[in-house]
Each structure stands twice: as C-alpha cells, then as structure tokens.
Amino acid sequence: MTDRSSSEAALGDILVWLAESDYAFVTPTGQTHALVRRRGPASREDLLRDVFGWTRRFNAADLDPALLGLLRRADVLRDEDDGLRLSIRASTVEGRLFLHSAPTSAADAVFLGPDSYRYARFLRQAGGAGAPVRQALDIGVGAGVGAVTLALLHPGAEVTGSDINDEALRLARVNVDHNGVPVRIVKAAGIPAAPDGFDLIAANPPYIAGPMKRTYRDGGGDLGAGLALDWVRDGLPRLRPGGRFLLYTGSAIVRGRDGVRAGLERLASAHSCRLDYDEIDPDVFGGVLRQQAYREVERIAVVGAVLTAP
C-alpha cells in the first residue's frame, strides 16, 4: 500500500511532468471516449495523450523510467492481460491541468467531462459581477475545476471546496496545489460551517437518477434534482446580504415542465431572492431516457441559475 502523502506528492510531480511536456487533452463524453479508445493501443506518436488522456493500454518500456516510477509511487498503474493502463486521467480545462478518475464506473469516481467545461464557463460568465467576494464556496468540489475557477475570478477571496468523497478530496488537493491557487479543501456533506456566511456559493451537483448510486452521478430525489434543490435550500440562508448562489445542473423536462426551475422559484420566493435562470443546453444524456425512471421525460436540459440574496 502506498503512503497517502507520498502518493499525493507523486501525483503532483506527474502534473509537473505533463505541464513541462506541453501536454493538453480535452475530455469528451464517455461514449466518445470509449469509442476512440477502442481503436488501438498507445502509439509513440502521441504517447502521453494516449496514456493519460485516452487511457489506452501501454507497455512499461514505452514510458520514461522516471515517469514510470512516479506512476508506481502514485499507485495508479493497473496490470491488464494486454499491458498496463492508468486509473487516472489528466485533462486540461481552460489551459489548466486536472487529474480525475479513469474509468468512471467506481462508486467514488471523480468525474471530469463536458459538464466541467460548461461549469467553468458558467462561473466565469455569472460569477464575476456582483458584490465583492471575500468568502466563496464550491460545493461538491470533485476534481477542483469550479474552486480553481472561483479563486482565479476573485483573487484575494478565501475559497473553500467541499466534498464527501475522499478520492475527490485527494485529487482536488493535488490539482489545486498544481494550479497555484489558495483553495481550502474540506470534507463535508453539503455546506461546511463558516462564521459569518458566504458571499458566493457555487455548485455543480450530480443530476441523473438511477439504480447504480454513483456519488459523482446520482442526484437523488425526483429525477435526479434532489441534491441540487437541497443544496440551494441549505445555502440561501448562509448567504450574506447581496450574496449569490450559482447553480449549474440538469433538469429532466416532463411534458414541457421544468421541475428544477419550479423548485428554485419556490425557494427564491421563500427567501426573497432574485432568480435568474437560463437553459444552457437543451438536450444532454439522451441515452438515460431508456431507463424506466425516465419513461415520462422528454429531454434532460443543462441549466444555470443565479439566486441573489436581498
């Protein structure tokens, strides 16, 4: 068993290695990733992207021995019948490197994918204006994309990233350190304690319902909306005057009705908050509609909401 501190240090060194090698990789949907990966093993022409991005199989002799040693120290090498494969991926989001899980079938997998890119863009567009930010929170920090984005948007603010998933906390610490931003990573289910509240709370909760109950995917409640509405319900009373809650999530549309919007409208009214709501993408995760739970759902939309406290 690899020591945790040694493992995290090795992961940080891997990110440095990749950065110095001008590594860049944009993670697509899981379906696209699986299709492209099946085309063959890693090639010398694009070795690092094949190994760290597409997570293709490779042989120990393919990699620089020093990099191979870091991978062993980090305990991310997996032996397979036809070679080696990594249990992590490395992706670039807006030019910054992040480690995350590969594959994403484990219950504690740390997700990074198209939603992460949209979330970062949403935060930049919606999170830069408004009252000055001294205390900010990214709930469900995952790989740390949101927390890093908030820290860069609001230099000087105290930014916290919280998560219940130990593997997410581990990778978020590594990613935050590599990107050189002052983010505090804490373990918490939902919103951690803060003496006088937050000026900005942001969240990209899981929003798919299903039987597998994966932490990064299952939003619980009615068609996956439970966690998003719970976090907003718990977060609004924790906002300082003029503070904002930035929510990026998905909503299952049933007979033209947007249940997430309706739930947020009720919460905004109860707390005298202003609600700004936008449908970012009208149709994602279409394959989920085959599940029995989604038999009445027309589509799943990606939505962004800003709730501003009085």
249-276 mean pLDDT: 97
Contacts of 78 by beta carbon, 8 Å cutoff, 6+ apart: 84, 85, 86, 87
Q: Looking at residues 254-269, what average pLDDT do you find?
A: 97
> Does a structural domain hold residue 267?
yes
User: Within this chain, do residues 214 and 270 fall inside the same structural domain, yes or no?
Assistant: yes
Total domains in the chain come to: 2
Instruction: Outline where DSSP puts E strands in the chain.
Output: 77-80, 83-86, 88-93, 96-101, 135-139, 158-163, 183-187, 198-203, 239-254, 257-258, 274-281, 297-308
Whether residue 132 is found in the same domain as residue 258: yes
| Residues 130 and 26 occupy one common structural domain | no
Range of the domain at 256: 114-308
**Domain presence at residue 152:** yes
Give, in order, the Cα–Cα distances in Å from 184 to each of 10, 94, 168, 172, 293: 20, 21, 13, 10, 38
Helix, strand or coil, per DSSP, at residue 1: coil
Q: Work out the pLDDT band at 1, boundaries 50, 70, 90.
A: very low
Same domain? For 32 and 160 the reply is: no
Among the ranges given (165-169, 218-222, 294-298), the one the predictor scored with the smallest mean pLDDT: 218-222
Mean local confidence (pLDDT), 125-148: 93
Same domain for 189 and 248, yes or no, is: yes
pLDDT of residue 89: 97
Distances (CA, A) of 152 to 43, 123, 247, 304: 36, 11, 18, 20
pTM score: 0.93
Contact 170, 8 (CB under 8 A): yes
pLDDT exceeds 60 at position 215: no
Give the rounded percent of residues in the chain with a pLDDT score beyond 90.
80
Record the tokens describing residue 170, joined without a space: 């581990």
Query: In the structure, what pLDDT confidence band is assigned to residue 242 with cuts at 50, 70 and 90?
Result: very high
What does the DSSP assignment read for 48-72?
HIIIIIS---B-GGGS-HHHHHHHH
Same domain, 290 and 180: yes
**Residue where one domain finishes, among candidates 86, 102, 122:** 86
pLDDT digits (tens, 9 = 90+) for 138-182: 999 999 999 999 999 999 999 999 999 999 999 999 999 999 999
The reply to whether 239 falls in a domain is yes
Rounded to whole angstroms, the Cα distance separating 174 from 257 reads 41
Residue 93: predicted pLDDT = 98
> Model confidence at 224, in pLDDT bands (50, 70, 90)?
confident
pLDDT confidence bin for 216, thresholds 50/70/90:
very low
Is 106 among the domain residues?
no
pLDDT at 170: 96
Same structural domain, 213 and 280: yes
With residue 230 as reference, give the H or E element that holds it: helix 226-235
Q: Are residues 132 and 251 in the same domain?
A: yes
Is position 95 within any domain? no
The per-residue pLDDT for range 278-294, each reduced to its tens digit, is: 999 999 999 899 988 89
CATH of the domain at 143: 3.40.50.150
Residue partners of 142: CB distance under 8 A and separation at least 6: 100, 110, 111, 112, 116, 163, 165, 168, 172, 204, 216
Q: Is 73 within the bounds of a domain? A: yes
- Torsion of the alpha carbons at 258, 261, 262 and 267, rounded to the nearest 10: 160
Residue 212 located in a structural domain: yes
Looking at residue 131, what is its pLDDT?
78
With a cut of 70, say whether residue 246 has pLDDT above it. Answer: yes
Residues 230 and 162 in one domain: yes
d(CA 1, CA 217): 28
Assess whether 65 and 164 both reside in one domain: no
For residue 40, which of 25, 55, 62, 30 has the smallest C-alpha distance? 55
User: Residue range 202-224: average pLDDT?
Assistant: 71
Q: Looking at residue 190, what is its pLDDT? A: 85
Residue 149 and residue 201: Cα distance in Å, rounded? 13
Answer yes or no: are the C-beta atoms of 183 and 161 closer than 8 Å: yes
d(CA 48, CA 55): 9
pLDDT digit string, tens, across residues 23-50: 999 999 988 999 998 888 888 889 999 9
> Mean pLDDT, to the nearest integer, of 243-272?
97
Q: Say what the pLDDT of residue 269 is.
A: 98
Answer whether residue 209 is part of any domain: yes
Identify whether residues 189 and 263 lie together within a single domain. yes
- pLDDT of res. 293: 87
> Would you state the pLDDT for residue 194?
85
Quick one: 60 and 178 in the same domain?
Answer: no
Res 81 pLDDT > 90: no
Confidence class of residue 4 from pLDDT cuts 50, 70 and 90?
Answer: low
Average pLDDT over residues 111-130: 93
